[in-house]
Amino acid sequence: MTQAAPLLPETARANTLVARRLGIDTRREAVIFMRKDCHVCRSEGFTAHARVRVANGKNAIIATLYQITSELLLPGEAGLSESAWQTLSVEDGGPITVSHARPLDSMSTVRARIYGNRVAEDDMQPVIDDIVAGRYSDIDIAAFITVCASLPLNDAETVALTRAMVNAGDTLHWPTSPIVDKHCIGGLPGNRTTPIVVAIVAACGLTMPKTSSRAITSPAGTADTMETLAPVALDIVQMRRVVEREGGCIVWGGAVRLSPADDILIRVERALDLDSEGQLVASILSKKVAAGSTHLVLDIPVGPTAKVRSDESAKALASFLSRVGAAFGLETRIVLTDGAQPVGTGIGPALEARDVLSVLQVSRNAPVDLRDRSVRLAGALLELGGAASAGDGEAKAAKVLGDGRAWAKFRDICEAQGGMRTPPEAAHRRPVLAAEAGTVTKIDNRRIAKVAKLAGAPDAKAAGLEMHVRLGDTVEAEQPLYTIHAETPGELAYALEYAATNGDIVGSG
């Protein structure tokens, strides 16, 4: 009903500032720093913590605003965090425009879910796309994560979330089939079966292009461990070449953008210490579907301090994973394993790599549990992928490992990835001793992992710890329970202090 009064666009749009790179790492969060007395802040009515739209030509992002009351910036300047700088591809001194961010349409889906409505198939993609594009603030993401836990995602929503996460990133396609993969569901220190399984399975002729993650909350991810044995930061072209030549690889997934929403969601889940099954299933399966996998073996360690604590919940999770996987044509087999204590002797990148080597080399001292688990998982994959008939998988896996073919394949893969390396050794070590004689009745996986992290793992590759006892062992007073490895005296002291104030990490009944 109204008639436009003449506009003054040149005034209204004079929201231009000069960009300055401040060299501030805020991770993925885009942050813009503007003077509080800046003409844009004043005319737009911006206050600190506002979400604003920052544009460099056609490139635009949504950023969080912090306001400068000092001389950190000159009048007319705006500072950008590293992530904002890179996404906008702006030049130092180049012009950027800042305006109010429009409300995100996809947040209405999150709000509707808060009020109890299920997310329709088509509504999930815009949510995930906005999250990956950095348009959601931490507050927005936290609301999404929270409401996916308070009203658990059902099958249809989990399928929709998985699909949206796949679509939001790169996808790999392979000329052969089957493409096999394995995944372990969280929480068991030292459970580094992947390099061994890949070597066995590839030696048997299956294709297993394995991308692994670095540690998020653990003392080592497979990529961290593998990096002490060979380069892992391969791009997709290099990765393809390795797989074509050797039938398998063990590389870091970071160079390929498989399900990039996953890391963003996991960071917030971790901050909230929330585990929601639907999110977990979408997180795992989106990476596998994006990687082009057709057959997947899932290792679910079950134990009192593992992520999954009872056979019952393991089976429920397994069933959920299989149902959602089936929606993507992914055949899954679940292997429940013992999650009562750490696997192998080493915990930390290099220490775990040493265990992997000793199993592959069929050394006399190789940890039996790591070997047995690897054979079991490889056997399941051989059967699932059609390289062994039902019931014969384990025997075949054991043979290929025992006769050195797996070790030969592993060396070939390492060479193809850029050359084999020798894992580093830590300069500072100190044993933690038993205070009294007894029988080991419990080992706390979570706090064992914490000791290894305080010692510097995974960033300090040689850091971590070496276990000397297992459940059921009898120990004398003063007998070493485990040895802490660190690269610096400070980190050694940290880990020791924590071990001293947590005397029951290894407990006697």
Nearest distance from residue 273's CB to a second copy, in Å? 7
Residue 143 touching a second copy (CB under 8 A)? yes
Name the nearest CA neighbour of 345 among 241, 470, 472.
470
503 makes contact with a second copy (CB under 8 A)? yes
Rule CB under 8 A: which of 33-52 touch a second copy? 33, 36, 42-43, 45, 47-49, 51
Residue 429 in the binding site for a second copy (CB under 8 A): no
Q: Which of 68, 197, 308, 334 binds a second copy (CB under 8 A)?
A: 68
Active site residue 403: no
Q: Which is nearer to a second copy, 65 or 204 (CB)?
A: 65
- Does residue number 399 form part of the binding site for a second copy (CB under 8 A)? no
Give me the DSSP letters along 70-120: SSSS-TTEEEE-HHHHHHHTPPTT-EEEEEEPPPPTTHHHHHHHHTTPPPP
Half-sphere exposure of 362 (CA within 13 A, CB side): 13
Judged by CB under 8 A, which stretch of 122-130, 136-144, 189-197, 238-246 contacts a second copy? 136-144
**Residue 202 dihedral angles phi and psi, to the nearest 5°:** -70, -35
Distance of alpha carbon 268 from alpha carbon 98, whole angstroms = 27
DSSP character string of 251-263: EEGGGTTSSTHHH
> For residue 342, which of 239, 174, 220, 181 has the smallest C-alpha distance?
220
Decide: is 195 part of the binding site for a second copy (CB under 8 A).
no
Distance CA 132, CA 286 (A): 14
CA 226/CA 309 separation, integer angstroms: 28
Cα distances from 97 to residues 12, 39, 53, 78, 199, in angstroms, run: 12, 12, 8, 10, 53
Segment contacting a second copy by CB under 8 A, of 21-29, 186-194, 281-289, 320-328:
21-29
Nearer to a second copy, 238 or 502 (CB): 502
CB of 44 to a second copy, least distance (A): 8
* Residue in the structure block whose two tokens are 């000329």: 175
Contact residue for a second copy among 19, 31, 54, 159 (CB under 8 A): 31
**Which residue, 82 or 244, is less far from a second copy as judged by CB?**
82
**Tokens 């400070």, residue located:** 490
Q: Which of residues 82-111 bind a second copy (CB under 8 A)?
A: 82, 103, 107, 111
Binding region for a second copy (CB under 8 A) out of 64-72, 291-299, 396-404, 412-420: 64-72
Among 61, 185, 268, 302, binds a second copy (CB under 8 A): 268
Binding map of a second copy across residues 226-265, x = CB under 8 A, - = no contact: ----------------------------------------
DSSP label at residue 340? S
The reply to whether 328 sits near a second copy by the rule CB under 8 A is no
| 74 touching a second copy, by CB under 8 A | no
**Residue of 275, 392, 403, 459 marked catalytic:** 275
Is 311 within 8 Å of 302 (Cβ atoms)?
A: yes
Q: Is residue 496 within the footprint of a second copy (CB under 8 A)? A: yes
Q: Which active-site residues does the annotation give? A: 275
